[in-house]
Amino acid sequence: MQHALSLKHTIFVTYMKPKDMPRQELTNKHCEHAEIPSAGQLEIWDTKIPGLGLRLSQGGRKAFVVMVRVRGLGKQRRVTLGAYPKLGLAKARIRAKEIIEDAQLGVDPREKAETERQAKAKLKRETERRNHQTFEKIAKDFIENYAKVNAPRYWRAMERSLVNHAYPFWEARPIHEISRADVRELIRSTSRTTPIAANRLLQILRKLFDWAAKEELVEASPVVGIDKPARERERERVLTDAEIRAIWNASNEKLQHPFGTLIKLLFTTAQRRNEVAGMIWDELNFDTGHWSIPGSRAKNAKGHLCPLSPLALEILKATPETGTYVISSGVRGDKPVSGFSKAKLLLDKHSGVTDWRFHDIRRTVATKIRGMGIDRVTVSKILNHSEGGITKVYDRYAAEPEKEQALRRWGEELRRIVESKPQEKVVTLTGR
């Protein structure tokens, strides 16, 4: 006899004789106390949800099954829903009803189960993969594949900031778990003791997570919308003539080479500290009086021709050529000079000038040159500043003659400053 039940559509269960197919409305009590067969299996079919059965197996195992015929395919499927009592009767009926309705729509329960199994396995693999993508691992990949390529002069500082400030909080944490609240808390914590370092860390994290998002390592950057914790003032320190003279003399008499040479070339060329420190002899042309700074070493990645004044040439010609680098360290002169902090402390001690930075020399020179009547554009060209807007697109004039004249005049003024004697204080005595 064929049994049928109308839900939304007619569904069909197996052909079985009533004597071979015990049926009754299953209850929790019946499921619990159903007699286990001494051999083989026995299936009791539910009258409330036809197609749902309780399978009793020799040895005491009980499990819910559902049997359906898939519409349009003519396939009859028996699906095991789960073991009783881990799967209760109420949930078994809900699950059976879902499978019956799927079968009415032509969905094969076995194929659906296999698809779900594969999806779960894929999700598990993806979860395991993402859990292995810790912040430390992604940060190292970021330094290697982004920072070293796009910021070759600063990647060590970026790495140091991450190691010192971010690793203690996130080192072994999966990167996809890091939220905006986590970033905000890290930045606030860092800002309590080192506010400027917190600003720099935020900049680095912004680049790191933007890169990670592009690499599909995170869905979105958690740094979006987080502001710098500390307000930074633009430095305005300009050295006086007396301070220039004191620093120059201390460089000559106490620091000498290599740091004394470095300081004097900073004053004569107005170029950046790292650009001067990395100067190599092959970049210099003594015949034309020019120093060619390649784009690979310039901060803005733009090559730059720096005119050398007579004073700068005197300093360079008096510098011993011990290796590749003009201001070198190492036995063979094969490394650029380093250890700027220690040199700065010595310079402060012997010059008596404090509260200044190496970059203040560059600002001082630019200010002095402007004070000599040199136009702002020429000063910008000397400093190799990046230009923007329409000027960047159309104005390719390098202003070499103007730069050369300006630095020559500055060299003459600098010589006057450092060779002049300090003014003595005059005390006027008044008679009674």
pLDDT of residue 123: 73
Alpha carbon distances (Å) from 218 to 16, 41, 150, 162, 221:
55, 51, 21, 18, 7
Mean pLDDT of 53-80: 87
Highest mean pLDDT out of 61-75, 148-162, 393-407: 148-162
Going by C-beta distance under 8 Å and a sequence separation of 6 or more, which residues neighbour residue 151?
Answer: 158
pLDDT of residue 363: 94
Q: What is the DSSP string of 43-80?
A: EEEESSSTTEEEEEETTS-EEEEEEEEETTTTEEEEEE
Poorest-pLDDT segment among 126-130, 191-195, 303-307: 126-130
pLDDT tier at 403 (50, 70, 90 boundaries)? Answer: very high
pLDDT of residue 407: 96
Q: Delimit the domains of the chain by residue range.
A: 4-126, 135-214, 241-419
pLDDT tier at 5 (50, 70, 90 boundaries)? Answer: very low
pLDDT tier at 236 (50, 70, 90 boundaries)? Answer: confident
How many residues make up the chain in this entry?
432
Residue 393, pLDDT above cutoff 90? no
Right CATH for 241-419 from 3.30.70.330, 3.20.20.150, 1.10.1380.10, 1.10.443.10: 1.10.443.10
Q: The whole model's pTM is what?
A: 0.54
- Residue pair 138/217 in contact (Cβ under 8 Å)? The answer is yes
Percent of the chain with pLDDT over 70: 87
Q: Token pair for residue 40?
A: 């083989």
Between residues 95 and 425, the one the model is more confident about: 95
Kindly report, residue by residue over 10-60, the tens digit of the pLDDT.
333 333 333 456 888 999 998 999 889 888 889 999 999 988 999 999 889
- Residue pair 343/250 in contact (Cβ under 8 Å)? The answer is no
Residue 307, pLDDT above cutoff 50? yes
Going by C-beta distance under 8 Å and a sequence separation of 6 or more, which residues neighbour residue 88?
Answer: 28
Right CATH for 4-126 from 3.40.50.11540, 3.30.160.390, 3.20.20.140, 3.40.50.300: 3.30.160.390
pLDDT tier at 127 (50, 70, 90 boundaries)? Answer: low
CATH architecture label of 135-214: Orthogonal Bundle (1.10)
Q: Half-sphere exposure of 402 toward its Cβ, with a 13 Å CA cutoff?
A: 16
Kindly report, residue by residue over 320-363, the tens digit of the pLDDT.
888 889 998 766 667 888 888 888 999 999 999 988 999 999 99
